[in-house]
Chains A and B, each alone.
Chain A
Amino acid sequence: MSFKLTVDGVTHTIDIVRRRPHLVVRIDGREHEISATGSFDEGRQTIEIAGAPVHFTRAHSGDQLLVRLGGRTFETAIVDPRAEAAGAGGGLDVFKAPMPGAVVSLHKQPGDEVQRGETVVTIESMKLQTALAAPRDGRIAELLRQEGQTFEKDDVLVRLEPAADGA
């Protein structure tokens, strides 16, 4: 019986080996006995792995569960099996704002051909200018923000025409 999680974007599989008397899981071939599973809550937590206490902090943020352990924060999420199946090749048709800000200048117009890495939009966020480059070769379908307009983080700024088959 397995459970898939991503840690900082990389997928890992946790297999439940035994549930009694203690929960035992296998990760990449390594077995761990969780002798105390702690509470389900957010915040400071203590569990025991092979009898040794492990302290960490945990909080949900959107779809993510943030885990802070050993002076480092990790972003984890459940892998949705359906998304996994549909995932290949998607996600490159739009570019999203990496942070809130405003459009300084547009370097392309709808219909223009762009090459991967070519600057399409210059944005300004918190006084810093950043060039946003095309994620792949293609043609601009739509520019969703004009010069001077503002946007929030993750807003779609540019849409490319869908890639032609076999391109």
Chain B
Amino acid sequence: MNRRTDPQTTATAAKTVPFRKVLIANRGEIACRVIRTLRAMGIASVAIHHRVEANARHVRMADEAVEITGDTPVAAHLDAAQIIAAAKQTGADAIHPGYGFLSENAKFAKAVADAGIVFIGPDAATIELMGDKISARNFAEKHGVPVAPSVMPTGDLKAFAAAAEKIGFPMLIKAAAGGGGKGMSIVRSAKDMAEAARIASSEAMRYFGDGRVYAEVYVEKPRHIEVQVLGDGKGGAIHLYERECSVQRRFQKIIEEAPAANLPAKLRDAICRSAVDLAKASNYKNAGTVEFILGADGRYFFLEMNTRLQVEHPVTEMITGLDLVKAQIEIAAEQGLPLAQKDVGIDGHAIECRICAEDPARDFMPETGQLRYLGVPEAPWLRFENALDSGQKITADFDPMLAKLVVHGETRDEAASRSVEALHELALLGVKTNTDYLARVLDHDAFRAGELHTGFVPQHAGELAAGEPDAQTLDTVLIAAALGFREFHDLAFDVPEPHASIGGWRN
């Protein structure tokens, strides 16, 4: 069965078109992804772009485009006033924020609403509640969602360390306003606590302008399990099952899948129910993701809630057959949820690989370059989400994620094998990427066995490194390369035969 390759957009065709025109306050693959659904729904699209990306794919794909200015391209994409002005100027009746940039910015959501434009997401108060890790945690705890025993921030680092000691080590220190691993550290003994808290606080101050840190029980070998929810804003909420995103490097996900591997049904039900409880309690309105950490002992704790579309949403689309962008748009237009909980099923297994411009051999450091050749795998069971163009410069202007490969299979093993095959076929030449590294992860016995935890990458670092090619491969590469150099061609084919045996190659 391969029909889940693209989300279905016809299931609720009876509903009226919710908006005439939507501005996408984003760029790259996610802007292209949103435009695709808008087009399928008969809604006009407006792209925004900085001048460095004036000819980018999302700009070409959209019905209209507006240039935004800023000292850096990222600064332009964070300029709420300009973006709202662009929406007004083009007559857009709603703004889809994508992920990243302004997608979880409460002030932006409020300013959009104040301008009489629909923000495709929750209201500012919900974003604020969930955006602060401490208020989100307290809210979750109050509504019966399991949270990790923790120490709340205090100006007194000594008292903080003393309270942490009572709970026991190891503990994880986090920034209250944090994300992406910034301001996080693991503390294994009481004597390291005060210093670790001080460093985390200064890092949090530098990155988020907010030095508050808290500490919670650190779960050894934790799995990252998250639940996709949809809420209608009136207390109605459903879940679309879980995703597992345990394979991470630098605290960021690189492989995500749905459903989770080897998750007992009872535990899955409990986790999904907790996520729905949270969505209902907050009158959540939008697609959202409730993240949990799951310990080897089956205990699970609320981590945070992301109040936006997630990078890895396509794996959920593939197993449920739902279009999450369409669901977001309908919810924003007060048209309710697409399905009742009992009608949400799981069909097969889906895996997403994030293709990033980075060098796995150098601790996944970002790489830049120019895309010299792009060869994309094609099959009915895969989506290659990207906004790449051959010849495109890969710069440090934006995030190093270049594309997402999303693959469906009847079983987890089939999805993994198909992913490996597609990664092999993918040719993205001109910038170093993690493509081959991802294939090695998917082929690793521990991955196939579902033995996942967030330390998977460091644990298997040795086996996941690129080995030396065998002699046969190396010879083939040398022949393939030589035949591509004019100098070799001249030597092998053009020199008259009598001379071929004398002069060697000269520059």
Contact = CB atoms under 8 A, between A and B. Distances in A.
Contact of B482 (A3, A30, A49, A59): A3
B482 to A, nearest CB: 6
Interface centre among A12, A49, A68, A80 (most CB of B within 10 A): A68
B191 interface: no
Given A3-B487, A71-B424, A81 B480 contact: no
A161 B353 CA distance: 46
Contact of A130 (B365, B399, B489, B505): B365
A101 B365 CA distance: 12
B436 A65 contact: no
Contacts, number: 168
B429 interface: yes
A45 B372 contact: no
A76 B488 CA distance: 13
A44 to B, nearest CB: 6
B484 interface: yes
B504 A43 contact: no
Nearest to A43: B373
Contacts of A74: 469, 477, 481
Contacts of A153: 368
A2 B436 contact: no
Contact of A47 (B207, B483, B497): B483
B71 to A, nearest CB: 12
A19 B497 CA distance: 8
A43 B375 contact: yes
B199 interface: no
A42 interface: yes
Contacts of B507: 80-82
A49 B474 CA distance: 13
A126 B400 contact: yes
A107 interface: no
A71 B436 contact: yes
A40 B483 contact: yes
Given A5-B478, A38-B483, A60 B372 contact: yes
A98 B369 CA distance: 12
B430 interface: yes
B16 interface: no
B494 to A, nearest CB: 10
Interface string B409-430: 0000000000010011001011
Interface string A120-144: 0000011110100000000000000
Nearest to A80: B507
Contact of A23 (B365, B372, B492): B492
A14 B489 CA distance: 13
Nearest to B396: A100
Given A59-B372, A61-B429, A74-B477, A40 B489 contact: yes
Interface string B473-507: 11111111111111111011100010011011111
A1 B491 contact: yes
A66 B365 contact: no
Contacts of A96: none
Contacts of A82: 507
B1 interface: no
A65 B492 contact: no
B395 interface: yes
B379 interface: no
A28 B429 CA distance: 28
A125 B362 CA distance: 14
A53 B390 CA distance: 27
Which of B362, B375, B469, B492: most chain A CB closer than 10 A? Answer: B492
Interface string A72-103: 11101010111000000000000000111100
Given A5-B478, A27-B475, A81-B507, A126 B396 contact: yes
Interface of A: 1-3, 5, 7, 12, 14, 16, 19-20, 23, 25, 27-28, 30, 32, 34, 37-38, 40, 42-45, 47, 49, 54, 56-61, 65-74, 76, 78, 80-82, 98-101, 125-128, 130, 153
30 contacts: A2-B505, A3-B488, A7-B478, A7-B481, A16-B491, A34-B479, A40-B484, A42-B373, A44-B375, A54-B476, A56-B477, A57-B375, A58-B481, A61-B370, A61-B429, A67-B484, A69-B480, A70-B473, A70-B476, A71-B436, A72-B473, A74-B469, A74-B477, A78-B485, A78-B487, A80-B507, A81-B507, A100-B395, A126-B400, A127-B207
Given A1-B505, A74-B481, A100-B396, 17 more contacts: A2-B505, A5-B485, A12-B478, A37-B493, A44-B427, A56-B480, A60-B484, A61-B372, A66-B372, A66-B373, A71-B424, A81-B507, A98-B365, A99-B368, A125-B366, A126-B396, A128-B250
Closest 3 interchain pairs by CB? A71-B424, A59-B373, A76-B481
